[in-house]
Structures are given as C-alpha cells and as structure tokens.
Amino acid sequence: MRTRFTVRTRFTVRTRFAWRLAFAVLWLALFDQLVPPLLRHLERERYEAGSVFRFENSDLFALGPLVSYLREHPQRDRRRVVFFGNSIVFGYGLVAGDAIPAQFQRQQPDTRVFSVAFNGAELPSSYLIAKAIVDAVDGLFVLVGPRNTVNGMLPSLIPIEESDLRHFALTPPDRVERRLRSLAGAWRLYAYRHRMQAALFATSTRQYLYLHKRDIARRLVAPVYAPPPQPAVSWQPSDDRVTLRALRPSSLPDARRRQQLRQRHELLCRFADLARDHHTRTVFVQVDGVSVELDDAEAADFNAIFAPSAEVVSLGVPASLRFDNLHVTPQGAQAVAAALSRHDSGRANEPR
C-alpha cells in the first residue's frame, strides 16, 4: 500500500508540475505576442511624445535602442534634430530640462529634439552614430573639438560598417555572440529587453533603480511621512549675449586649399560629405576658447565648400554664462540654444 501510495503521490506531483510548466509556457507565448505593440507604444511615448530624450546619467545603455528605433521609424510627423557632443551639450551639472537640447526644443516647439551627447564624446563617435541614423533625421548639431578618439563600446551598441571598423581600429562584435543573439531573437521579450528598459527608464532597470533609489524610497514612505516642500530654485535670463559667427570667404578656395583642408580635417570633411550625400543639414559648433578645431580661415573655406548642407559656426560664450569656465549655466544653455535656433531658422529653408 505504501509503495502504491508513494507512486501515486509522485505521479500527482509530476502532473501538477507539468501543468504548471505548460501554463507558464503558454502564458509567456501569449505575452510574447503583446511585446511588439507594447514596445511601439512605450518607444513612441519616450522618443516622440515625452520630454527631450537624454541618456540617463550619461550612460550609453540606451544608445542601441534609440538607434534601432530611429532606423525602424524613419518616417516622422515633424522635423527631427539630434544634438551630438560631450558634457557641454549633455548638460553636466544641469537637469535635462535646462540643457542646451531641451532649451532648443523650447525655441522650436514644432521640432523634435534628441540629445545623443554623453560625457567624453568626441567627433569620431558622433560621426559613427550619425552615420547610423542619418536617414531618419532632418538636422544635426555637432560639437567639435581638437581630440579625435572613438568610444570602443560603439561596435557592440550600433551597426558600424566594416570599412569604418578598420578605419577607426575598432574591434568588431564577437560573431558567435551575434549568432546566439539572433537565435534568441525568436523570443521577443528577450530580443527587445534592452529596448523595453530604455523606453521605460532611458537606461537599464538596474541603473535606474540605483540612481533613483532615494526618490523611490520617498514615494513609498510619502503616505506615512511627507517632508515640507523645498523652495524651487529659480533663475532669471541673463543680459549677457552669446555671439554666433558663420564665416564666409571673400572668394572660393582653390584646389590647393581644398586639398589642405581635407588633409588637416579629414574626418570633419567626411562628416560633411555624409550630410551632403544624405541631404541632412549639419551644423558643426565650435565654442571659442573651449572646443575649437578650425581657425577662421579654415572655417570660411569649409563653409564655402559644404554650405548649406554643412557648415561650421563659432560661439562666443561669456564667462558669466559658465559655472566652471567650461560648462554652461542654465542661462548659458538658454542663450546658446537661442543663438543656434535663430541661425537654424534662417538657414533651414535654403536649398541643399
């Protein structure tokens, strides 16, 4: 009797386990069908309807998902503009709403602005990211500088052509890993896990919880204890002006000067070629005394060759609009965005 009871008990346990396993698999299969429409909704809210997109804490986790979204949705209801650069454009020390891209969005509410700036970004990284999304956007603002190193993480985050991998001496992603990812892509919840997290948090779930653990804790204890509200920090627009210069030569550069320009600034010229070939207006921004690559004569020659598809502008930002002689204050970001917006509005309708 005991043996028969034991066998029956084991059979019952195994049957229950099998039913639970089958139910879990069925539930996952059904939920997996809902992932694509859910992802479309979340990404549209994150990238098209919400505030100006910026990488949370300058973390590049969301770069791949953003690039994938733009490449899959090249059609747009309104003009798209992308800002590239380092911590100056990202808005080091500023909340996202006070950084230059968000201030530009306020100047041009009919334009959708994305910030692909991150701390330490340099021109080669901006070029490779721009190349991946150039057909899905209408305009680029790119901060230039004297250093030309590339972020080695990019091949694992965005599609990069073989020629660019060789040119920038980048290590391509592991083929076995790519193959495994493609096979696992049949499970949509797994394949879209990074895009889901980026759409929800603009970074990974782990990073978001780490960065916002204090805010989350406050929301949990708010029903029990609500601390007195802190006074809002306000700032007034400054009378200090940001100057913008877009140099033009008195005559077109001859063949020798053109060749010299390409030899000295090969990547910048490649970037401008990309803008012209894809009809995507690109403004390269220099900040006097901070991030300068071309002198006035070279900038004038560059603009004569590539404008209006691409041009170099130089910004003069007073020290009073910087908080550490480098990064701009909220007033400085507003003034820079206003200067760029005025220039952009005056050039946007020119033939390309």
pLDDT of residue 190: 81
Q: Is the peptide bond before 308 cis (omega within 30 degrees of 0)?
A: yes
Write the pLDDT tens digit of every residue in 68-111: 999 999 988 899 999 999 999 999 999 999 999 999 999 999 99
Q: Of the ranges 8-22, 50-64, 98-112, 285-299, which is most confident? A: 98-112
Structure tokens at 107: 């100047």
- Residue 17: band (very low, low, confident or very high) from pLDDT cuts 50, 70, 90: low
Query: Using an 8 Å Cβ cutoff, are 62 and 202 in contact?
Result: yes
Write the pLDDT tens digit of every residue in 228-281: 554 444 445 555 689 999 988 777 888 999 999 999 999 999 999 999 999 999
Q: Which domains does the chain have, with CATH numbers?
A: 79-169+240-352 (3.40.50.1110)
What does the alpha-carbon distance between residue 301 and residue 157 come to, in Å, rounded to a whole number? Answer: 35
- Residue 352: band (very low, low, confident or very high) from pLDDT cuts 50, 70, 90: very low
pLDDT of residue 185: 59
pLDDT of residue 74: 92
pLDDT of residue 292: 83
What separation in angstroms does the CA of 320 have from each of 11, 238, 317, 323, 336? 79, 9, 8, 7, 13
pLDDT of residue 215: 72
Q: What percent of the chain has pLDDT over 90?
A: 57
What does the alpha-carbon distance between residue 141 and residue 193 come to, in Å, rounded to a whole number? Answer: 30
pLDDT of residue 214: 75
Please name which of 131, 105, 118 lies closest in space to residue 48, comparing C-alpha atoms. Answer: 105
What does the alpha-carbon distance between residue 286 and residue 144 come to, in Å, rounded to a whole number? Answer: 6
Q: What is the DSSP letter of 322?
A: B
Q: What percent of the chain has pLDDT over 70?
A: 79
Residue 78: Cβ within 10 Å count: 11
**Which of residues 36 and 3 earns the better pLDDT score?**
36
Span 108-134, mean pLDDT? 95
Q: Where are the beta strands (DSSP E) in the chain?
A: 79-84, 111-115, 139-143, 243-245, 281-287, 310-316
Span 109-119, mean pLDDT? 95
pLDDT of residue 122: 92
Please name which of 276, 249, 271, 247 lies closest in space to residue 352, comparing C-alpha atoms. Answer: 276
What kind and span of H or E run contains 165?
A: helix 162-167
Write the pLDDT tens digit of every residue in 133-148: 999 999 999 999 767 7
pLDDT of residue 233: 43
Whether the pLDDT of residue 341 is over 50: the answer is yes
pLDDT of residue 186: 65
5-9, 43-47, 328-332, range with the lowest pLDDT = 5-9
8-17, 168-177, 272-281, 291-300, range with the lowest pLDDT = 8-17
pLDDT of residue 160: 95
Write the pLDDT tens digit of every residue in 207-218: 888 888 777 676
Span 153-178, mean pLDDT? 88
pLDDT of residue 351: 46
Please name which of 333, 331, 341, 346 lies closest in space to residue 117, comparing C-alpha atoms. Answer: 333
**Which of residues 214 and 2 earns the better pLDDT score?**
214
- Residue 173: band (very low, low, confident or very high) from pLDDT cuts 50, 70, 90: confident
Span 285-291, mean pLDDT? 90
